Structure 1
Amino acid sequence: MAPLNVAIVGCGIIGLNHARAILRHPGLRLAALVDAVPAAATALADQLVSEYGADRLPEFASLTAALAGTDLDVVVICTPSGLHVVLAEEALAAGTHVVIEKPLDVSLPRAREILELSRRAEQNGLVVSVISQHRFDPASVVVADAAHSGAFGRLTSGLASVAWWRSQEYYDSGQWRGTWELDGGGAVMNQGVHTVDLLVWFLGRPVEIDARTALLAHERVEVEDIAVATIRFESGALAVLHATTAAYPGLSVRLQVHGDRGSAIIDDDQLEYFGTVDSDGNRAADLVPASELRGGDRGPDQFVVGHFRQYEDIVDAIREHRAPGVTVADAFLSLAVVRAVYLSATLGRPVLLDDVLDGSLDDVEVTTGVRA
């Protein structure tokens, strides 16, 4: 089959990551670069020529112009999070498949619009997926399979920690960074949303979230640089969520899943521990090959590899006329959990996820919590 023509909208750092993954996939052809700041598109085009010796790509200042000037099959949205919905709507109206970089959006009302758009698009044979590349990590797949199959027994608890560092210069580097309007939040929304997504994927549907946030290590920032929360799931399992951009010099992302017959630990995408017992209490050591215990991807290409795996799924979904591995509904649920963290911290009380999902708390203006 002929490769699918792809446009990247938003040519910053994450746009480069997508471009590298797309250029490696034989089923995709990068056909256009789009950015409202022409210099950004030019810089990305220059870098791709330098890295890959690729032909110079057409550059456009708007998605409208790209759709008019290029035959496109897929539109990849890598803009600031608060701009996702309008671009997704335009791309779907033009009949293209859509890939949205995380998070789905920064606003639940707008995210509901994308959810409805995606449902209508699916009826017309279009694929809409949201980037959650860590669902495709070997370690994540092993743990999810065990959690969903019952290998861990009754799921009892989980831990998700994102202990990262972002300098003041990072927040000062773009006017949208650290704002509620376009960044949608801080350590949880921007840095921790992938880890929240994995926690929900492993443990199931959350019921109640109780959280606190603070801004302790940065200035000229609207959003939090530290958040902690407890999450209660439908199964009865409890989890602790910790996310920060104030943990110098930046440590690992850690996920733990525990049940009454087994546990697993993922540290920086690596399967650090996996152990289960059968119903008689005998160790079931053969569920995970030893080669997979430390089998994640390391090195400079690790972020590209994750996106590449998800693009493999997206291309297959388009070719096979099926739903992608990560749907808009999946991303909407994870976004709702993040929003619940902010709502709970703002209101100073636990929040029911159902009240977030149905829009009952849409009018609450979230705040950062304790400030330095």
Structure 2
Amino acid sequence: MSQRRIGLVGYGDVSIVHVGAIEAIDGLELVGIADTDPAARERAAAETSLPVHSSVEELIEALRPDAVHVTTPHDQHVDPSLAALERGVHVLQEKPLAHTLAEGERLVEALGSLRAARADGGAGAPKIGICFQNRYNRGSQELARLLAGGELGEMRGAWASVVWTRTAQYYEAKPWRGRWETAGGGLLINQAIHTLDLVQWLLGPVERTEGLVSQRKFAGVTEVEDTADLVLHHASGVTTTFYATLTAPAARPVEFEVETEKASLEVRSGGVGGLTVRWKDGRVDTFSDRVAAPGGRAYWGVSHEELIRDFHASLDDPEPFWIGPGEAMASLRILTDAYRASGVGS
């Protein structure tokens, strides 16, 4: 991989993981930071000693990066990503794809138009990737391998849970997190979306979502949900029972269990995780995840750096990055269906 200049757009909580990964990966150099918030720019300048700018356009004009990482609040994902792509700059964007389905569709359509307008048919167009880093966890990848290999027999169904904790102070510190207009939702779009992504990636497309999202703890503090109880109906005919909440006294590991004809498989993530395969003939296989990198938070998973490394390595290839906007629309559709079924959201 040739030396690449990287800009960071949005100097918030998750940006620390991107800064650390860029510093750790040979061939990448962080050259500047953009943020619309003057306080964030001041903090970025003090903590990194890098040039700071008030917009992605200004950053690109001044520093000419090869790629930007977009780590802004949800409602500020699409515009900076499109601004960079239109200027020929690659984009790695944090989840979710967008804070609404309509905004996600706008990005997908604009990306298609940019590629169609090129004389090379889009082969040389700038790339965009979306950070669903839990697909890079060893447990997830081993489960994908086993499901694809056919040795598990008939699929029976699955269960997934995200049981975490948050406080009123979490929302008060960053008010955008608790508003439909800026976050696009609560628990499902901000925390549980990674597990929704894994469920549909590993078990196939979700055609229908049933269930309820609700406020069990933070009514009066936020507008958005803190609990969800869903059944996801996959195109294959199997279902996934899905439960998530932010009301627990302490965070539990994320659990994803798959029941098949020949084995029961359990993926756990968050801190120490991995895959356990309990074969019906008595065998037990285990695959441990990597340890989370310093500076991050255990519930972010252990694989941000792996995804970032893979994205930048892919920029020399003609094909789009494998986790792009089209892939990211799947989880956005699932949670949007859940909101509509509960009569909430936009």
- How far residue 43 of structure 1 moved from its aligned partner, in angstroms, is 1.7
How far apart in 2 are the matches of 1:295 and 1:173?
32
> Is 1:297 aligned to residue 296 of structure 2?
no
Aligned to 1:182: 182
Aligned to 1:133: 133
Aligned to 1:2: 2
How far apart in 2 are the matches of 1:27 and 1:198?
30
Aligned to 2:94: 101
Aligned to 1:82: 75
Verify the 8 A CA contact 2:257 2:266 in the aligned structure 1.
yes
Moved segments of 4+, more than 4 Å: 282-285, 301-305
- How far residue 16 of structure 1 moved from its aligned partner, in angstroms, is 1.5
Aligned to 2:118: none
Where does 1:213-362 land on structure 2 (aligned, <5 Å)?
A: 213-218=213-218, 219-268=220-269, 270-276=273-279, 290=286, 292=287, 294-298=288-292, 300=294, 303=300, 305-346=302-343
How far apart in 2 are the matches of 1:283 and 1:275?
7
Q: Which amino acid aligns with 1:60?
A: H
How far apart in 1 are the matches of 2:326 and 2:279?
31
Q: Which amino acid aligns with 1:308?
A: E
- How far residue 78 of structure 1 moved from its aligned partner, in angstroms, is 0.9
Where does 1:158-173 land on structure 2 (aligned, <5 Å)?
A: 158-173=158-173
Aligned to 2:345: 366
SS of match in other structure, 1:176: helix
> Is 1:116 aligned to residue 121 of structure 2?
no
How far apart in 2 are the matches of 1:118 and 1:275?
43
- How far residue 175 of structure 1 moved from its aligned partner, in angstroms, is 2.3
Aligned to 1:31: 31
SS of match in other structure, 2:152: coil
CA pair 327-151 structure 1, distance change in 2 beyond 3 A: farther
CA pair 205-36 structure 1, distance change in 2 beyond 3 A: same
Verify the 8 A CA contact 1:16 1:44 in the aligned structure 2.
no
Verify the 8 A CA contact 1:155 1:235 in the aligned structure 2.
no
- How far residue 119 of structure 1 moved from its aligned partner, in angstroms, is 3.1
- How far residue 260 of structure 1 moved from its aligned partner, in angstroms, is 1.3
Deviates more, 1:301-310 or 1:149-158: 301-310
Q: Which amino acid aligns with 2:214?
A: A
- How far residue 312 of structure 1 moved from its aligned partner, in angstroms, is 1.6
Deviates more, 1:152-161 or 1:118-127: 118-127
Verify the 8 A CA contact 1:27 1:315 in the aligned structure 2.
no
How far apart in 2 are the matches of 1:304 and 1:16?
14
> Is 1:149 aligned to residue 146 of structure 2?
no
How far apart in 2 are the matches of 1:46 and 1:153?
56
- How far residue 8 of structure 1 moved from its aligned partner, in angstroms, is 0.9
Verify the 8 A CA contact 1:99 1:131 in the aligned structure 2.
yes
How far apart in 1 are the matches of 2:322 and 2:264?
24
- How far residue 96 of structure 1 moved from its aligned partner, in angstroms, is 0.4
SS of match in other structure, 2:78: helix
SS of match in other structure, 1:232: strand
How far apart in 2 are the matches of 1:156 and 1:196?
18
SS of match in other structure, 2:266: strand
Aligned to 1:53: none
Percent of aligned pairs with the same amino acid: 26
- How far residue 340 of structure 1 moved from its aligned partner, in angstroms, is 1.0
Aligned to 1:11: 11
Verify the 8 A CA contact 1:151 1:276 in the aligned structure 2.
no
- How far residue 120 of structure 1 moved from its aligned partner, in angstroms, is 4.1
- How far residue 255 of structure 1 moved from its aligned partner, in angstroms, is 0.8
SS of match in other structure, 1:76: strand
Verify the 8 A CA contact 1:121 1:127 in the aligned structure 2.
no
Which sections of structure 2, spanning at least 5 residues, go unmatched? 116-121
- How far residue 234 of structure 1 moved from its aligned partner, in angstroms, is 1.1
Pairwise CA RMSD of aligned residues?
2.0
Verify the 8 A CA contact 1:211 1:342 in the aligned structure 2.
no
TM-score computed with the length of structure 1 as normaliser? 0.84
Aligned to 2:119: none
Q: Which amino acid aligns with 2:266?
A: I
- How far residue 283 of structure 1 moved from its aligned partner, in angstroms, is 6.5
SS of match in other structure, 1:182: helix
Verify the 8 A CA contact 1:210 1:345 in the aligned structure 2.
no
How far apart in 1 are the matches of 2:3 and 2:278?
42
SS of match in other structure, 2:14: helix
1:338-360: CA deviation from partner (whole Å, max 9, x where unpaired):
111111122xxxxxxxxxxxxxx
Q: Which amino acid aligns with 1:38?
A: P
Task: Say how many residue pairs are matched.
Answer: 333
Q: Which amino acid aligns with 2:319?
A: R
How far apart in 2 are the matches of 1:113 and 1:233?
26
TM-score computed with the length of structure 2 as normaliser? 0.90
How far apart in 1 are the matches of 2:233 and 2:156?
10
- How far residue 118 of structure 1 moved from its aligned partner, in angstroms, is 2.9
Q: Which amino acid aligns with 1:64?
A: E
